[in-house]
Structure 1
Amino acid sequence: MMEIAKVRQDFPILFQTVNDEPLIYLDNAATTQKPKQVISAIENYYAHDNANVHRGVHTLSERATKQYEEARETVRAFINAASTKEVLFTRGTTTSLNWVAQGFGDQVVEEGDEIYVTALEHHSNLVPWQQLAKRKQARLVYLPLTEEGSVDVAASQ
């Protein structure tokens, strides 16, 4: 089981109180808070290696490109992708979901198909599917939820 208190220690922004309560940040689809390890890596990158990736033959660009490709390989191994060509970095969740809906979704969703979402979706995970349903004349189906906020599997069938 994940130790929340231990995880929180990695996020400096969570050391503050807001409205007399410890900060809890749930809007990760919009902006994800960074752990100190990421903040340190970003600071180190900007202080020592900041350059265009895949666009230069000078030392800084080569170092930046090497780090970028090492990150792609780390993600590839983590998600068990067959190739680093399957790993795409985007600006954020909204861009990623739009790419999936417009790329994959446009290829597999057909008129009359159903696209399942819940009422709990952040708009960044709802709007692309709404647009896809409209483009493809598919139906957007909201799955029912339990009182606890889980998908009610029994009622969904």
Structure 2
Amino acid sequence: MSTAPLAPRTEFPLLAAHPTLTYLDSAATSQKPKAVLDAIAHYYTWSNANPHRGAYALAATATQAYHDARDRAARFLGVSDADTLIFTRGSTESLNLVATAWGRANVQAGDNLVVTRM
């Protein structure tokens, strides 16, 4: 998989199979490149366990994979401390987390917030 910000459509099986498709719902579900699909399938096939949830070997492997992914993401994003990264399930959870954390610290009674709808 390319590390370029905009990888070619050919790396995404669905987009490669449908050359005229324009997918605009990535906030809800993003398309995954083949390398990601392969990595997910490999994980679920060979090392599926919960990280940080057990003392058995498979859990230790899952925990190491989790930390390795965090370290790789930090390097890719240029973050010096991988522990400052927060993984979420998607954009809605991410935005809610930012709004809640930032809002509690910065929004006061009487402030005006402007929001838009889709």
Normalised by the shorter chain, which TM-score bucket? 0.7 to 0.9
Alpha carbons 1:50, 1:60 under 8 Å: kept: yes
Aligned positions of 1:5-154 closer than 5 A: 7-17=8-18, 22-111=20-109, 137-140=111-114
| 2:69 match: secondary structure | helix
Q: How many correspondences in the alignment? A: 112
Q: Which amino acid aligns with 2:112?
A: A
CA distance in 1, matches of 2:115, 2:23: 28
Asked if structure 2 preserves the Cα contact closer than 8 Å seen for 1:16 and 1:22, the reply is: no
What is the RMSD of the two structures over their aligned residues, measured on CA atoms?
A: 2.1
Q: Distance in 2 between matches of 1:111 and 1:140?
A: 15
Q: Find the aligned partners of 1:67 and 1:41 in 2 and give their Cα distance.
A: 11
For 2:61 and 2:68, locate their aligned partners in 1 and report how far apart those are by CA, in whole Å.
10
CA distance in 2, matches of 1:14, 1:139: 38
Structure 1, unpaired ranges of 5+: 113-136, 143-157
TM-score normalised according to structure 1 size: 0.64
* Contact residue 53 and residue 61 of structure 1 kept, 8 A: yes
SS in structure 2 of the partner of residue 28 of structure 1:
coil
> Please, what TM-score do these two structures have when normalized by structure 2?
0.83
Larger strand fraction of residues? 1
Distance 1:141 1:49 in 2: 43
CA distance in 2, matches of 1:67, 1:83: 17
User: Quick check: 1:15–1:22 contact (8 Å CA) kept in 2?
Assistant: no
Instruction: Write the letter of the residue equivalent to 1:7.
Output: P
- Higher RCO, 1 or 2 (CA under 8 Å, sep at least 6)? 2
Deviation digits for residues 117-156 of structure 1, max 9, x if unmatched?
A: xxxxxxxxxxxxxxxxxxxx423177xxxxxxxxxxxxxx
Cα deviation per residue 1:1-43 (whole Å; 9 max; x = unaligned)?
Answer: x7x7x610100011333xxx62111111010000000000000
Q: Which has the larger radius of gyration?
A: 1
- Runs of 4 or more above 4 Å deviation: none
- Mapped partners of 1:84, 1:105: distance in 2: 24
